[in-house]
């Protein structure tokens, strides 16, 4: 879903207009993934569904970590339309603060294909912390328009803007346009940005698709608007083949535009092998050109009995066809919930597999509330000393009132009120490990620091 990804990329790049830090926003693909996992339930169960998953990424043998909580806070299925609210919270080790984003989708219907048409929805509302107050405010509205056949043809994005704290209201920021052939297959899309000085629409990126009679994309070609030349220039071209009409993808050939030669250069080709329909068992990455392709990498996939990938292996292939292990990723699944529970990425070094990184995804108790980034300068540091005392350092004018300490599973491990000037809390009852210390101040602002007890 290139058009949706580009839209959210624009939102993330421009979010600095509203907040000091750029949060990670949930994508439409993420929303649909969650909906697929629960759509088999009855409407009554959907209305009561509240689920939370926490993904923590570790760099092996270091204490650095990033953690993201994604929570479905409400789901409602009415007359075949699903209303869903999803909250994503990101906890960053190095910066030591929490950013929380909320996305609401109303009336989301339809499914994604690999190169599908845009998903249908009534509207999307994006929430985030206000730059000046830290309150959760409506940041953007995304409003769609449809043709007579229910196809999404236009998508307007409005941002809630302010100038030195003075609210200006919602301003049109960008427009995405979608075009279809007589069979309602998506044949092109275009983005237009709004000049905030003149409020006129300017040309942006454009992508064209050639389809076969089954609606499969044979050629995808993209252009971008050059403001200096006042013309569209080529960016890339992908050519697809299929094992059969309406069947699986057989090859994808990637080309990029060479401004020097004013022609496309071949970059690579992916060739897919299937264990059964819809299940890729091997992907070969080739370089060269038609008639002279040379395999340089091979990716193999192993599945369990429920058609879930459990092992992805990467091998380099030399010109003589000799294969050498380079990397692999092992994936574990939580069967009852259907979530990936753990993935471990390893490098092959000196004849042995060496751990590189690890990601854990698990159900959790969400840590709700918004932590304004502006409060981070009030809560300066946190650490455990040798006597298991948790030391807190705040700015001299900060009035800390409450401490909440959470472990990496999102469980509240310690809750206590703080007295004026207090900078030590007894942590002797706590297990060794990583925690998130969250301090609430007298003015309602909140800030957090990562802390480790050894």
State residue 220's pLDDT score: 96
Distance of CA 322 to the CA centre of its chain: 36
Greatest mean pLDDT among 123-127, 231-235, 401-405 lies in 231-235
3-class secondary structure, 74 = strand
CB neighbours of 206 closer than 8 A, spacing ≥ 6? 188, 189, 190, 191, 222, 223, 224, 225, 232
Kindly tell me if the per-residue pLDDT of 101 is higher than 80: no
State residue 312's pLDDT score: 97
Mean residue pLDDT of the chain comes to 76
The three-state DSSP-derived secondary structure of 371-435 is: CCHHHHHCEEEEEECCCCEEEEEECCCCCEEEEEEEECCCCEEEEEECCCCCCEEECCCCCCEEE
Decide: 437 and 451 in contact? Cβ < 8 Å: yes
Which has the higher per-residue pLDDT, 180 or 62? 180
State residue 212's pLDDT score: 92
Decide: 120 and 133 in contact? Cβ < 8 Å: no
Kindly tell me if the per-residue pLDDT of 123 is higher than 90: no
Token pair listed for 296: 């340089």
Kindly tell me if the per-residue pLDDT of 4 is higher than 70: no
State residue 350's pLDDT score: 94
Q: How far apart are CA 97 and CA 371, in angstroms?
A: 8
Q: How far apart are CA 61 and CA 264, in angstroms?
A: 44
**H helix runs in 153-204, sequence order:** none
pTM score: 0.67
User: Percentage of residues in the chain with pLDDT exceeding 70?
Assistant: 66
Kindly tell me if the per-residue pLDDT of 94 is higher than 50: no
Decide: 215 and 247 in contact? Cβ < 8 Å: no
Q: How confident is the model at residue 146 (pLDDT cuts 50, 70, 90)?
A: confident
Which has the higher per-residue pLDDT, 438 or 80? 438
State residue 60's pLDDT score: 74
* CATH pick for 378-453 out of 3.30.830.10, 2.60.40.1220, 3.40.718.10, 3.40.190.10: 2.60.40.1220
Dihedrals φ, ψ of 11, to 5°?
-65, -45
Q: How confident is the model at residue 117 (pLDDT cuts 50, 70, 90)?
A: low
Adjacency order of strands within the sheet including 424-426: 379-384, 389-394, 424-426
State residue 233's pLDDT score: 94
Q: How far apart are CA 268 and CA 288, in angstroms?
A: 7
State residue 25's pLDDT score: 43
Q: How confident is the model at residue 10 (pLDDT cuts 50, 70, 90)?
A: very low
Work out the angle at residue 220's Cα, subtended by the Cα atoms of residues 215 and 222, and round it to the nearest 5 degrees.
140
Provide the 10 A C-beta neighbour count for residue 98: 27
List, for residues 15-74, the tens digit of each pLDDT value: 333 333 333 444 555 555 555 555 444 444 444 445 666 777 777 766 556 667 677 666
Q: How far apart are CA 371 and CA 248, in angstroms?
A: 46
Provide the 10 A C-beta neighbour count for residue 146: 12
Instruction: State mean pLDDT over 416-428.
Output: 86
Decide: 159 and 38 in contact? Cβ < 8 Å: no
Decide: 191 and 174 in contact? Cβ < 8 Å: yes
Q: First CA to last CA across the chain, in angstroms?
A: 45
Which has the higher per-residue pLDDT, 293 or 116? 293
State residue 249's pLDDT score: 94
How far is the CA of 292 from the CAs of 238, 266, 316, 322, 425, in angstroms?
18, 11, 18, 18, 68
Dihedrals φ, ψ of 6, to 5°?
-65, -40
Token pair listed for 454: 């050894």
State residue 338's pLDDT score: 62
Q: How far apart are CA 226 and CA 232, in angstroms?
A: 6
Distance of CA 16 to the CA centre of its chain: 18
Domain residue extents for the chain: 1-168+335-366, 378-453
Q: How far apart are CA 317 and CA 302, in angstroms?
A: 19
Token pair listed for 396: 């001299």
- Residue from 212, 197, 207 nearest 177 by CA: 207
- Over its C-alpha atoms, the chain yields an Rg (Å, rounded) of 25
Least confident of 122-131, 211-220, 231-240, 372-381: 372-381
Decide: 174 and 7 in contact? Cβ < 8 Å: yes
């Amino acid at each position: 879903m290139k058009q949706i990804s580009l839209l959210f990329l624009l939102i993330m790049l421009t979010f600095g207009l509203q907040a000091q830090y750029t949060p990670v926003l949930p994508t439409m693909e993420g929303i649909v993934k969650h909906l697929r996992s629960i759509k088999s339930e009855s409407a009554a169960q959907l209305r009561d569904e509240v689920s939370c998953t926490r993904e923590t990424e570790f760099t092996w043998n270091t204490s650095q970590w990033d953690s993201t909580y994604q929570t479905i806070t409400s789901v409602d299925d009415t007359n075949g339309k699903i209303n869903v609210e999803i909250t994503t919270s990101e906890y960053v080790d190095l910066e030591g603060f929490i950013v929380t984003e909320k996305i609401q989708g109303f009336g989301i219907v339809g499914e994604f294909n690999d190169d599908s048409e845009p998903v249908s929805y009534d509207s999307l509302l994006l929430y985030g912390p206000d730059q000046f107050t830290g309150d959760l405010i409506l940041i953007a509205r995304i409003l769609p328009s449809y043709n007579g056949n229910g196809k999404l043809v236009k998508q307007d994005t409005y941002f809630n803007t302010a100038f030195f704290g003075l609210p200006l209201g919602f301003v049109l920021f960008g427009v995405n346009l979608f075009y279809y052939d007589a069979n309602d297959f998506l044949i092109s899309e275009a983005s237009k940005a709004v000049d905030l000085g003149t409020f006129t629409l300017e040309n942006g990126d454009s992508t064209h698709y050639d389809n076969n009679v089954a609606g499969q994309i044979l050629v995808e070609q993209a252009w971008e608007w050059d403001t200096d030349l006042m013309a569209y220039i080529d960016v890339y071209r992908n050519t697809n083949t299929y094992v059969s009409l309406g069947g699986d993808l057989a090859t994808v050939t990637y080309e990029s535009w060479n401004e020097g030669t004013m022609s496309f250069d071949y970059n690579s080709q992916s060739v897919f092998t299937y264990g059964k329909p819809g299940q890729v068992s091997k992907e070969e990455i080739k370089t060269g050109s038609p008639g002279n392709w040379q395999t340089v990498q091979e990716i193999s996939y192993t599945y369990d009995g429920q058609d879930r990938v459990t092992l992805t292996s990467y091998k380099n292939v030399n010109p003589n066809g000799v294969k050498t292990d380079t990397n692999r990723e092992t994936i574990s699944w939580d069967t009852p919930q259907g979530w990936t529970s753990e993935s471990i990425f390893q490098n092959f070094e000196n004849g042995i597999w060496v751990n590189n990184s690890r990601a854990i995804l698990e159900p959790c108790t969400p840590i709700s509330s918004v932590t304004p980034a502006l409060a981070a300068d009030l809560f300066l540091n946190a650490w455990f000393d040798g006597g298991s005392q948790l030391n807190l350092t705040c700015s001299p004018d900060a009035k800390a009132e409450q401490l909440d300490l959470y472990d990496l599973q999102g469980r509240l491990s310690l809750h206590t009120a703080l007295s004026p000037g207090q900078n030590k809390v007894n942590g002797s009852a706590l297990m060794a490990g990583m925690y998130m210390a969250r301090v609430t101040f007298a003015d309602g602002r909140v800030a957090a620091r990562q802390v480790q007890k050894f």
